[in-house]
A and B are shown apart, each in its own frame.
Chain A
Amino acid sequence: MVPLSVLQRDPDDRVQILDEDGGVVDGATVPDLADDEFVEMYRYLKLGRHFDQRAVSLQRQGRMGTYPPMAGQEASQVGSAMALSAGDWTFPSYREHLALAVRGWSLADDLLYWMGNEAGNAPPEDVKVFSMAVPIATQIPHATGAAWAAKLRGEDTVVLTYFGDGATSEGDFHEGLNFAGVFDVPAVFFCNNNQWAISLPRERQTASATLAGKADAYGFDGVQVDGMDPLAVYQVTQEAVAKARDPPEGDLRPTLVEAVQYRFGAHTTADDPSVYREDEEVERWKDKDPIPRLEGFLRERGVLDDELVVRIEESVSEEVANAIETAESTERPSPEELFANVYAEMPQRLEQQLQYLRDLRERHGDEELFQ
């Protein structure tokens, strides 16, 4: 008998490969990755965790504005991003700092964005990542549209979009997934269910038993995966991507992936989770921390030892320090940037307003303007 694709499993049957100690669970198949790819995956997890700590600290020191932390959620970002091909597209929300880095959008740009600098909002030309969405769930129909366009053009592209558990309550979630089913587009809807939409727990967000189960209503597969198991996330995403590209007879291309995970920190640095959840709960989920799990697996496999861990930690630390240095040494944007790129050609009215701003600065000087 041909084994069932993980995508065809019952949504309640969560896909998992690594147990909490990094051992391989019974019956699971380890993805077919080379040793250096496993190590790369581990390095990305470490990079994300370290970046996150530094970013929160920058905010605390007043060197950066509000920042949405991702500690605990790295495996979902890395596992999914690594499963994409170079030509595939990512449509992120605002918490995918690490997924974007995997896809080639620099951490320095990410910092710049959260430092309020427009330069960080400009996707590099060679990076296939759409502008991040701060409003909730709005990127989902965009992803469906881009995937649809790729299909209309006969291209082999798959589009993966990230959103949270809260986003599944928005109308745009329904509309985006419904269109995806109707037009059978090559999209992967990747839900980072981190259990909390700011203060609202997952069970109060919807009466559905699972979020993955919502896919049933759109006519395509939904699968629940341990989102803190990078190997399981990789495997599930890879199958979803493969199916989007080349679906078996009678099967629709889209997949809803519910990656079950936990946000260890606050929703953003402006949030205080101690108001709405117990530390004990956080500690319980820390047992599923993806980093020691993958580390245990790699050590057992003989591709990681203390020396390599130290080297990785040093290189990650240096990479993040460089990103911070780059971001902080980037010039603040010129005030004239306010008027750039509003339209392809600047209308006369904006030219007049730009001139007014120039005159104003000339007359008063920036210091007096913003004392």
Chain B
Amino acid sequence: MSTERSSQNLTLVQAVRDGLYGEMARDEDVLVMGEDVGRNGGVFRATQGLYEEFGADRVVDTPLAESGIVGTAIGMAAYGLRPVPELQFAGFMYPGFDQIVSHAARLRTRSRGRYTCPITIRAPYGGGIRAPEHHSESKEAFYTHEPGLQVVVPSTPSDAKGLLAAAIRDPDPVVFLEPKLIYRAFREAVPEESYTTELGTAERRREGEDVSVFTWGAMVRPTMEAAEELADEGVDVEVVDLRTLKPMDTDAVVASFEKTGRAAVVHEAPKTGGLAGEIIATIQEESLLYQKAPIARVTGFDVPFPLYALEDYYLPETARIKDGITDAVEF
């Protein structure tokens, strides 16, 4: 038997599926539940083949009821299982919101540690796929605002698998938002065996000296493109993919900023109350004396996410990101 580590070339959504498979094989307390996750294999095929492999008790097709899905997952988790509820689209999470914020987030706190809630709530989120109304929003800030929750957004297949495994094994609840724009955008070598990618750690995607850009999810790719284009213009951009939005790797943010003294934050969510504000405030608190320029925010607009004919104008793209970075550099 070869001891060489083997890998497979997977898309992000296949890596999610692979991560679920690995955790279910490893721990029989892990179960997947949600709308159309079983026989159908998930509307994005994120659970394809799991039903056939693990059966209907561990890959559960639930009634159409998000509060029911999250609420029963909380009860299962308190009883000792490790449910991984899928909410079909982040735009349809709200009926489950009360269960997430009033119970999952604070079960440990309010029971003074007696009861815990190790659930990982998965949901595809974000725009850019010409989806119908209510299918494209980025509401990560709703969840990062809530004490007791952890919020993860992978941007690569290998991170998706490792972060998902870490989330499932974590003793506290995780909201795991999957950027569906890049579900199938590219493939990457993903190790076949199970592994975890530590929650709360950012990853530097590009090293640079002139300006730091903090971003996550589907915005990493246009940000990298902007960075490459700016490199041709003589601007050396560092790109930091936060990966976990809560707890945020503020050490990585601060270290990068103290090196460059300039920054931009890129997210698809609306500007007001978005995480860019939180990141910038952290930099102000930790690194004020390093700051050479106002920190740019390149974000969605403060408007309801439009029907798809206008979504390209709503979402930050490469030119807009370049402009924001340039503002931070040229100040």
What residues of B have a CB within 8 angstroms of the CB of A136 in the complex? 64, 92
Decide: B302 and A349 in contact? CB cutoff 8 A.
yes
Contact with B along A331-371 (1 / 0, CB 8 A): 01101011100100000011001000100100110001110
Q: Is A115 an interface residue (CB 8 A)?
A: yes
B65 touches A275 (CB 8 A): no
Interface: A303 (CB within 8 A): no
Q: Are B308 and A360 in contact (CB under 8 A)?
A: no
Among B41, B63, B306, contact of A169 (Cβ-Cβ < 8 Å): B63
A135 adjacent to B312 (CB under 8 Å) = no
Is B68 touching A169 in the complex (CB atoms < 8 A)?
A: yes
User: When the two chains form the complex, which single residue of A116, A357, A363, A368 contacts B309, counting CB atoms closer than 8 Å?
Assistant: A116
Set of chain A residues within 8 Å of B43, measured between Cβ atoms: 198, 270-271
**Interface pair B92/A65, CB less than 8 Å apart:** no
Nearest CB in chain B: distance from A251 CB, A: 30
Q: Are A338 and B306 in contact, with the CB atoms below 8 A? A: yes
Q: Does B143 lie at the interface of the complex (its beta carbon under 8 Å from any beta carbon of A)?
A: no
Instruction: Verify if A134 is at the interface (C-beta below 8 Å from B).
Output: yes
Q: Are B64 and A166 touching (Cβ within 8 A)?
A: yes
Q: Are B64 and A134 in contact (CB under 8 A)?
A: no
- Closest A residue, CB atoms, query B96: A171
Instruction: Indicate whether B319 reaches chain A with its CB closer than 8 angstroms.
Output: yes
Q: A134-B134, A199-B39, A360-B319 are known contacts. Are A117 and B64 too (CB-CB below 8 A)? A: no
- Is B40 in contact with chain A by the CB < 8 A criterion? yes
Chain A nearest CB: distance from B117 CB in Å?
21
A319 contacts B by Cβ under 8 Å: no
B301 contacts across to A, CB distance below 8 A: 338-339, 350, 353, 357
- Contact partners of B309 in chain A: CB under 8 A: 115-118, 332-333
Q: In whole angstroms, how far apart are the Cα atoms of A206 and B134 in the complex?
A: 26
Q: Is the CB of A333 within 8 A of B61?
A: no
Mask, B167-182, CB within 8 Å of A = 1, is: 0000000000000000
Contact of A147 with B by CB under 8 A: no
Instruction: Given A65-B131, A339-B301, answer yes or no on A135-B64 (Cβ-Cβ < 8 Å).
Output: no
Tell yes or no: A197 within 8 A of B by CB.
Answer: yes
Contacting residue for B132 out of A65, A172, A332, A357, CB 8 A: A65
Measured in the bound complex, the distance between the Cα atoms of B314 and A92 in whole Å is 27
Q: Which residue of A lies closest to B312 (CB)?
A: A370
Shortest CB distance B46–A (Å) = 14
| Residue B250 is within 8 A (CB to CB) of chain A in the complex | no
State the CA gap A200–B69 with chains docked (Å): 14
Tell me whether B302 and A170 are in contact (CB under 8 A): no
CB of B36 within 8 A of chain A? yes
Check B282 for interface membership: any CB of A closer than 8 A.
Answer: no
Q: How far is the CB of A111 from chain B (nearest CB, A)?
A: 12
Residues on the B chain within 8 Å of A205, using CB? 63-64
Question: In whole Å, how far is A93's beta carbon from the nearest beta carbon of chain B?
Answer: 12
Question: Cβ of B91 and Cβ of A135 under 8 Å apart?
Answer: yes
Chain A residues near B302 (CB-CB < 8 A): 342, 349-350, 353
Q: Do the beta carbons of A134 and B133 come within 8 Å of each other?
A: yes
Known contacts: A117-B307, A276-B40, A353-B302. The answer to whether A65 contacts B130 by CB under 8 A is yes
Counting chain B CB atoms within 10 Å of each CB, which of A94, A338, A349 scores highest? A338
Please name all residues of chain A whose beta carbon is closer than 8 Å to the beta carbon of B35 when the two chains form the complex.
197-198, 200
Bound CA–CA A38/B68 (angstroms): 44
A338 CA to B67 CA in the complex, in Å?
31
B92 touches A118 (CB 8 A): no
- In the complex, B238 has a CB within 8 A of chain A: no
- Bound-complex Cα distance A167 to B64 (A): 7
Interchain nearest-CB distance for A268 vs B (Å): 8
What's the minimum C-beta distance from B44 to chain A, rounded to whole angstroms?
Answer: 9
| Option from A116, A166, A357 in Cβ contact (under 8 Å) with B308 | A116
Task: Determine if A199 and B61 form an interchain contact, defined as CB atoms under 8 angstroms apart.
Answer: yes
Whether A66 pairs with B132 at a CB distance below 8 angstroms is: yes
Q: Is B289 an interface residue (CB 8 A)?
A: no
B36, B43, B66, B313 pick with most chain A CB within 10 angstroms: B313
Residue of B with least CB distance to A171: B67
A60 — which chain B residues lie within 8 A by C-beta? Answer: none
B271 at the interface (CB under 8 A from A): yes
Cβ contacts under 8 Å, A172 to chain B: 95
**Complex formed: what's the CA distance from A369 to B321 in Å?**
11
The residue of chain A having its C-beta at the shortest distance from the C-beta of B314 within the complex is A338
Q: Is A113 an interface residue (CB 8 A)?
A: yes
**Residues of B close to A339: CB separation below 8 A:** 301, 303
Q: Is the C-beta of B272 less than 8 angstroms from some C-beta in chain A?
A: yes
Quick check: A360 and B36 within 8 Å, CB to CB?
no
Q: Indicate if A114 sits at the interface (CB-CB under 8 A).
A: yes
Residue of B nearest to A272 (CB): B40
Residues of A82-122 at the interface with B, using a CB-CB cut-off of 8 Å, are 94, 113-118, 120-121
Neighbouring A residues of B103 by C-beta, 8 Å: none
Q: Mark B243-277, 1 if CB is under 8 A from A, else 0.
A: 00000000000000000000000000001100000
Q: How far is the CB of A71 from chain B (nearest CB, A)?
A: 19
Which residues of chain B come closer than 8 Å to A9, judged between CB atoms?
A: none
- Assess whether A299 is interfacial by the CB under 8 Å rule: no
Chain B residues lying within 8 Å of A276, measured Cβ to Cβ, are 39-40
Within 8 A of B (CB), among A311-329: none
Query: Nearest Cβ distance between residue B325 and chain A, in whole angstroms?
Result: 14
Asked if A368 and B319 sit within 8 Å, CB to CB, the answer is yes
Mark each residue of chain A from 45 to 68: 1 if its CB lies under 8 Å from any CB of chain B, else 0.
000000000000000000001100
Beyond the given A198-B43, A332-B309, A360-B319, please list 15 additional residue pairs across the A-B interface where CB-CB is below 8 A.
A65-B131, A66-B131, A116-B311, A117-B309, A118-B309, A120-B307, A169-B65, A170-B65, A170-B95, A171-B95, A200-B36, A275-B41, A350-B301, A360-B323, A369-B312
Q: Can you list 28 residue pairs at the A/B interface with Cβ under 8 Å?
A: A65-B308, A66-B132, A113-B307, A114-B132, A116-B307, A116-B311, A118-B306, A118-B307, A121-B133, A169-B64, A171-B95, A197-B64, A199-B61, A205-B64, A276-B40, A332-B309, A333-B310, A335-B310, A337-B310, A338-B301, A338-B313, A342-B302, A349-B302, A350-B302, A350-B303, A353-B271, A360-B320, A369-B319
